[in-house]
Structures are given as C-alpha cells and as structure tokens.
Amino acid sequence: MSHPHPELGSPPKLPEGGLRVTPLGGLGEIGRNMTVFEYGGRLLIVDCGVLFPEEEQPGVDLILPDFTSIRDRLDDIDGIVLTHGHEDHIGGVPFLLREKADIPLIGSKLTLALIEAKLQEHRIRPYTLEVEEGHRERIGPFECEFIAVNHSIPDALAVAIRTPAGMAVHTGDFKMDQLPLDGRLTDLPAFAKLGEEGIDLLLVDSTNAEVPGFVPPERDISNVLRQVFANAQKRIIVASFASHVHRIQQILDAAHEYGRRVAFVGRSMVRNMGIARDLGYLRVPAGLVVDVKTLDDLPDDEVVLVCTGSQGEPMAALSRMANRDHQIRIVPGDTVILASSLIPGNENAVYRVINGLTRWGANVVHKGNAKVHVSGHASAGELLYFYNICKPRNLMPVHGEWRHLRANAELGALTGVPKNRCVIAEDGVVVDLVDGVAKIAGKVQAGYVYVDGLSVGDVTETSLKDRRILGDEGIISVFVVVDSTTGKIVGGPHIQARGSGIEDSAFSAVVPKIEDALAKSASDGVAEPHQLQQLVRRAVGKWVSDSYRRRPMILPVVVEV
C-alpha cells in the first residue's frame, strides 16, 4: 500500500492523457470533504465542506479547505458536484463561490435546495443543475453518471466520472440499509454494471471501515424511540443534526402516535425541516408542528422540542440549555435524546453537555445507553460486499481519519485489489491515474483555513497558540518608561496580571530583576525600545517559570520620554 511521505514536493505537470485527483479535505479527518479532479487542463470538484473546531481551536467558528492550489485556476473549474446535503460536504461552498460566483453546482433536488438556502444568507445566487440517479451529464471533459446511495439524509448520490484516462467513481457517504425508511436503496446493480465496464479508480467512504459486520437498519430505531416516548413524564427534547431528515421523521411519527406537539428550535433546524417538508421529503401530519412561542400554553407531557447541538457545539441550543443560557430551561423529569453518533474529537464536548443536562435533572438518552442512532456509513461487511461488486483496479480510501483509511485499504486488498494499487493519501497529496495505474505524484498546500466571525483565513496557528496560552496561563503586562537618551527607568515598572493565578502583591519580587536588567542594558548603551521589551519579557518570564512553573503570555510596553 502506498502512502504519503513528508519529503513529497510539488507535483510535476500532469502527463498528457492522465487524470489527477487532489483531495483538499476529508482525508485524515472527519469533515471538510473536497476532492479536485483534473483532466486536460480542466477541473471538476466533488463536494466542498467544512470541519467543526475542537477545544484547542478557541474562537474558531468553522474550518475550510485550503483553496490556494486552485485559486489561480478558478476559470478552469467546470462544476462542483455535491454528493449530499450534510455540512461537511456543502458548508464550504459559499466561501468558494465568494471567489467566483458562477461556478455551476450539480446535485440532487434536496441537496441543491439546502445549499441554495445557505447561499441566500450570503447573498449569492448560484447557477445550479439538478440531477437524479441514472442521469448522465457532460461537465466539461468529464462525463458524470449519478448513482443512488443510501445515507442518513435523503437524495444522496455517488458519481462515476468518465474521462479518456479512465473511470473514477466517488461514493460520497453511503451505507447499504436494506430496509431504508424512504425505500431508496444503494443501487448495487448500477455499481455492478460500472464494475463490469471497469472502474479504474474507486474513492470510497472509510468512516466505519474498522467496524465489523453491517450497519443495523434505520427502522430498528423507531421501536426504541416509541419506548422512550411512552416512558417520558414531561417534555422530550431531541438533539439531532439539522439535516437528518430520516431521524426527524421518526421523531414526528412517535410524537404523533403519543399525542405530542413538536417545535423546531434553532435557525438551521427550522430552515432545513421547512425545505424538507416543502419538497415532500418530510411527512408532517396537520397540526403536529407548532411555533416554539406557543409551547407555554401546552402541558409538559404534550411537548417535543427538536434542536441542534448533538455534537456538543458550544453555541448550539442544547449546549446553551445545559449551561442555563437558553430561554428553554431544563427541569427535573425532562427527557433529552441525543439522536446522533459521536464524531471523533467531539467526545469531551458531548459528555460535558450530558453531564450539564443531568445536573439539572434531565433523563439523557444517548447512543451509549439506548439504540437511538445508527450510522450513515457502511461497515466492514458492507465494504467487502461492495468491493466484490465493483472490482476496482485501483482503490483510494476517502472520508476518514488515518486509522479508517488504512482499515479500508486493507479491506480492498482482501477482496483482490493489488496492495500496490491501494493508495492511502491525505489532504493535499496528489494522486495521478496514468495508463491505468494510480500513484502518488506530489503534494500541494492543504492546511486549515479558519473562519472566525467575519474573518476568513486571518486566524493563524500562531493566533490559536496565543489564545490557548491566554486561556490556560493568563496574561501579564509590564509598563516601563525610560529616558530616550540614557535608557534609564524614569517611570514604573507597573505590572498587571489577568488569569495567571498570581497575586498582584507577589510581583514586588520581580521589580528589582526588571530594574537590574534595564540598568545593565543602559550601561551597555542599549536604548532601543524593542530590545528593552525583550529584556523585560525574559526577566519576568524566568521569574514566573522559576517561582510558579507557569508560562503566561507576557506583554512588555517600553515608552521613551
């Protein structure tokens, strides 16, 4: 199995007649999915998603793919194929269209409706092309065929991309639920036909490659939800992804059966469920859904709230309820259902929310203690079955952390894909398909691009390091006035600390050290303010480290008079 090396340089020019595949997100992580296909100087993008920040990225709202490698080639992009409507696949589209608004978006009805609503908030009116399973569309030099796949959102599609260099198939996110709620199966006969034709490169969802067996059917959850509803004494609060239409349908069905009314909480939840209902993907009995403002008029045992925050996102409704920072107050006897799986990296945030809700008396039902969620991604048994149908000549695992990618490659090798044709790449690693063989050709820039409020890309790793230091160790500011001619102190030093855990009175011990350092520099003829600031920083930093074993941020200010 081939894999990237740190010494990889920039890729050479794509050989004539070759197909280049460059993942800019989604490999080595869960989220930020984006893959660029290149043939004959033209580009086709599959998905453009976001990654949600972790605790060590304070203040960050979203993380985008890095567009640097395609920024000077925006005119070469023939389209963006969107496999489905989850945020980790469409959330980055507004930021790419800000750079060139007329790039066509290709996707299914629901996927396009969700991204169009999102783009409306950014005041972008996209050019879209709606497709269905079985459709073939020529997009520049790429002939794309769309195949139905089953996932945790309706209308998901895989795409087969035919070029003179060969056929690449990108599964998007998929599983093989044989009893799907909407009756829409993963189209295995279509994949078998592609396999007979010859799949030169297969890019496959790796999320559950380590999980043995098959994913249980979605409909198994309905009975568990009914049992939770039957036992609930007061309000029921359900946290789910704002795009998980199938799970929300099951909640609506259970609420209708047990005589409860449902209110959606949160802008994205209200927007997405409205779109799903209007397009016929969500069946809502008359009078079942009510405005959240009317809930005060209903008894607690007739209320169901559906909100976001199943991943412990700090600003989502459920986290705010757990922190007592929301208009909806958790009271003893409420039942909270977390109808989702844990995305790797979010575990601490989710358990913090569960503990907060439990503290206020809620009965919290989650995947750890009840079967209230099944994954939307194929497990190892399904992937083996899939490889035997598709018979790919080359395999490139996508959508997963390193352990998922490697496990997926090993599954492919078990079914007969030669190990040297199982290409394990990561973000930015360029893979060329030339003469039927896929090989790593180099690497392009594919770092994190942070969105913080209205700024995109302004926050750097250095900024985040400063934020972490401020959060963990605090800040000490030192103000000194010196004579511009002699460099001697004429005022101060004045020291202030915030969040350092050091009493103000303790700083009297470091004042002589600052004075000695500046006196020595004055005698040496050093009077430049920047140099004096460095001397102050070192003197204070050494004292704090020696005395308290801490490393706060130190901000020295030296003013000349």
* CB burial string 215-236: b at 16+ within 10 A, e below: bebbeebbebbeebbeebebbb
> What is 19-213+375-452's CATH number, 3.60.15.10, 3.20.20.70, 3.40.50.150, 1.10.3720.10?
3.60.15.10
Nearest 5°: phi and psi at 523? -70, -25
CB atoms within 10 A of CB 259: 9
Q: What share of the chain is helix, strand, coil (3-state, %, to 5)?
A: 35, 25, 40
> What is 461-560's CATH number, 3.40.50.720, 3.10.20.580, 3.40.50.800, 3.30.559.10?
3.10.20.580
Instruction: Give the DSSP letter of residue 213.
Output: S
Classify 142 as helix, strand or coil.
strand
Classify 85 as helix, strand or coil.
coil
CB 487 within 8 A of CB 518: yes
Tokens (6 digits) for 350: 């989710």
Cα separation, 128 vs 119, in Å, equals 12
Q: Please state whether beta strands 142-148 and 157-163 pair in parallel, antiparallel, or not at all (unpaired).
A: antiparallel
With vertex at residue 543, the alpha carbon angle to CA 538 and CA 547, rounded to the nearest 5 degrees, is: 150
Tokens (6 digits) for 230: 């039957």
The predicted structure's pLDDT at residue 468: 59
Q: Please state whether beta strands 429-434 and 437-443 pair in parallel, antiparallel, or not at all (unpaired).
A: antiparallel
Cα separation, 81 vs 139, in Å, equals 10
Side-chain half-sphere exposure of 222, counting CA atoms within 13 A: 14
The predicted structure's pLDDT at residue 419: 93
- Per-residue tens of pLDDT for the chain, all 561 residues: 655 566 788 999 999 999 999 999 999 988 899 999 999 999 999 999 998 766 666 566 678 899 999 999 999 999 999 999 999 999 999 999 999 999 999 999 999 999 999 999 889 999 999 999 999 999 999 999 999 999 989 999 999 999 999 999 999 999 999 999 889 999 999 999 999 999 999 999 999 999 999 999 988 888 889 999 999 999 999 988 888 888 899 999 999 999 999 999 888 889 999 999 999 999 999 989 998 888 888 898 999 999 887 776 766 778 888 888 888 888 999 999 988 776 666 677 788 888 888 999 889 888 778 787 888 999 999 999 999 999 999 999 999 999 999 999 999 999 999 999 999 999 999 999 999 999 999 999 888 887 766 556 556 666 656 655 665 667 778 888 877 766 677 777 888 777 767 777 777 787 888 877 777 777 766 667 777 778 788 888 788 778 877 777 777 887 777
Alpha helices in 232-316 (DSSP H): 245-257, 267-278
For the chain, domain boundaries: 19-213+375-452, 220-365, 461-560
CATH 3.30.950.10: does it fit domain 220-365? no
Asked if the peptide bond before residue 529 counts as cis, ω within 30 degrees of 0, the response is: no
Please, what sign has the CA dihedral across residues 39, 44, 50, 51?
A: negative
Residue 553's beta-bridge partner residues?
475
CB 308 within 8 A of CB 239: yes
Position of tokens 């359900």?
238
The predicted structure's pLDDT at residue 554: 78
Tokens (6 digits) for 239: 């946290």
Strand order in the sheet with 553-560: 489-498, 475-482, 553-560
Q: Which of 177, 189, 294, 191 is nearest to 246 (CA)?
A: 177
Classify 470 as helix, strand or coil.
helix
CB atoms within 10 A of CB 128: 19
Cα separation, 64 vs 258, in Å, equals 42
Q: Which of 131, 92, 141, 74 is nearest to 108 (CA)?
A: 131
Cα separation, 291 vs 306, in Å, equals 12
Domains 220-365 and 461-560 alike in fold: no
The predicted structure's pLDDT at residue 263: 93
- In this structure, the dihedral spanned by the alpha carbons of residues 552, 448, 271 and 305, taken in order and rounded to 10 degrees, is -50
The predicted structure's pLDDT at residue 453: 60
Alpha helices in 72-159 (DSSP H): 87-90, 93-97, 109-121
Alpha helices in 314-438 (DSSP H): 317-322, 347-359, 380-390, 402-414
Query: pTM for this one?
Result: 0.82
